Structure 1
Amino acid sequence: MLIGPPGCGKSTFATQWPASWRVSLDTYRLLATDTEYDQSATVAVQIQDLILDARLSRALTTIVDATNLHTHVRAGLLARARYWQRPTTAVLFNTPLATVEEQNAARDHDRMVPQHVVRQLHKLLPTTQLRDEGFTTVHLASDTATAR
């Protein structure tokens, strides 16, 4: 599970693995609404959950590419992994706010998230509680090698 605010590099990080491994809320929002950041597209979460269950039931490596900043969202995803008896890894993108804002501003207009939303989400970055939440492994994205 990738965890971080919009513009921190989660989707870029995820591209080092096969596209079939990636479960991306942005992609499902885009398919449903023609925009990646329309939070009213709750169908995107339903699509994510269907694909996640399909992959986890087959023990396929899966990368959840979404902000995953809210504790209740992570708890739901962790519950799915526990149901299918799969290990979980959190990759935390603790990217400084200035870098996140700069990268978000450089996005195509249709992918840019409003600055106030980026700032609100950045404040939700977890610190030490990820292991306590139930993750098998926790990594900082800044410490992970980019090689597979």
Structure 2
Amino acid sequence: MNELRLGNQLEKLRGEQKISQEEAAKQVGVSVQNIHKWESNQSYPEFEHLLKLGDIYGTTIDEFIKKDAALQNKINISEEEKEDDDELLHPGFYIGIGIMFLGTFLSLIIGNLTITMVTNIAGMLIICFYKEILKLLKDIKKDFYEQG
């Protein structure tokens, strides 16, 4: 597939339509600086603006996205992050609760409240920072494979 960054596509299509940046900006309802930033790959337009640009240039958002691998990756990353944020009770929640109950149970058997305090703190930290710990580990793994 012929990969073409979105900005280059927009500039090419605008040239084919013989529309100036000023005219495109007016039709889309944005500033000329926005058109310039989009065409120079400094930023991406919002989807509503992509829809308008698609109408103006006679193409679709689908075609814009298919030709820009960087935009596809940005969309995929955003979707993964959204899915993670939607998950209310992640595995770290259950691990943390399990550690807290185990510590409380052990402290009742042994008779040492320090165990309860330490395991409750550890459990709460796991519950609160589970996703960040996983992300850190994934980043370390990614860096390791990129170097080797």
Short-chain TM bin: under 0.3
Which structure has the larger Rg?
2
TM-score, normalising length: structure 2:
0.21
- From the two aligned structures, give the one with the greater strand fraction: 1
Q: TM-score, normalised by structure 1?
A: 0.21
Q: Which has the higher contact order (CA 8 A, sep 6+)?
A: 1
Give the structure with the higher percent helix.
2
